[in-house]
Chain A
Amino acid sequence: GAGVSQSPRYKVAKRGQDVALRCDPISGHVSLFWYQQALGQGPEFLTYFQNEAQLDKSGLPSDRFFAERPEGSVSTLKIQRTQQEDSAVYLCASSPPFSMNTEAFFGQGTRLTVV
Chain B
Amino acid sequence: AQTVTQSQPEMSVQEAETVTLSCTYDTSESDYYLFWYKQPPSRQMILVIRQEAYKQQNATENRFSVNFQKAAKSFSLKISDSQLGDAAMYFCAYRRGGATNKLIFGTGTLLAVQP
CB-CB under 8 A for A42 and B91, given A55-B100, A98-B99, A100-B97: yes
A42 touches B105 (CB 8 A): yes
Residues of B within 8 A of A102 (CB): 101
Residues of B within 8 A of A91 (CB): 43, 45
CB-CB under 8 A for A109 and B101, given A42-B106, A103-B50: no
B45 touches A45 (CB 8 A): no
**Cβ contacts A48-88/B at 8 Å (1 or 0 each):** 10000001100100000000000000000000000000000
Residues of B within 8 A of A55 (CB): 99-100
**B62 contacts A by Cβ under 8 Å:** no
**B19 contacts A by Cβ under 8 Å:** no
Number of B residues near A (Cβ < 8 Å) is 23
A45 touches B101 (CB 8 A): no
CB-CB under 8 A for A48 and B102, given A41-B108, A42-B107: yes
Number of A residues near B (Cβ < 8 Å) is 28
Residues of chain B touching chain A, judged by Cβ–Cβ distance below 8 Å, are 4, 33, 42-47, 50, 52, 91, 93, 97, 99-108
Residues of chain A touching chain B, judged by Cβ–Cβ distance below 8 Å, are 31, 33, 35, 40-45, 48, 55-56, 59, 89, 91, 93, 95, 98, 100-104, 106-109, 111
- 28 A/B residue pairs, CB under 8 Å, sorted by A: A33-B103, A41-B107, A42-B91, A42-B105, A42-B106, A42-B107, A42-B108, A43-B45, A43-B103, A44-B105, A45-B102, A45-B104, A48-B100, A55-B100, A89-B43, A91-B45, A93-B103, A98-B99, A100-B33, A100-B52, A100-B97, A101-B50, A101-B52, A102-B101, A103-B50, A104-B47, A104-B103, A108-B44
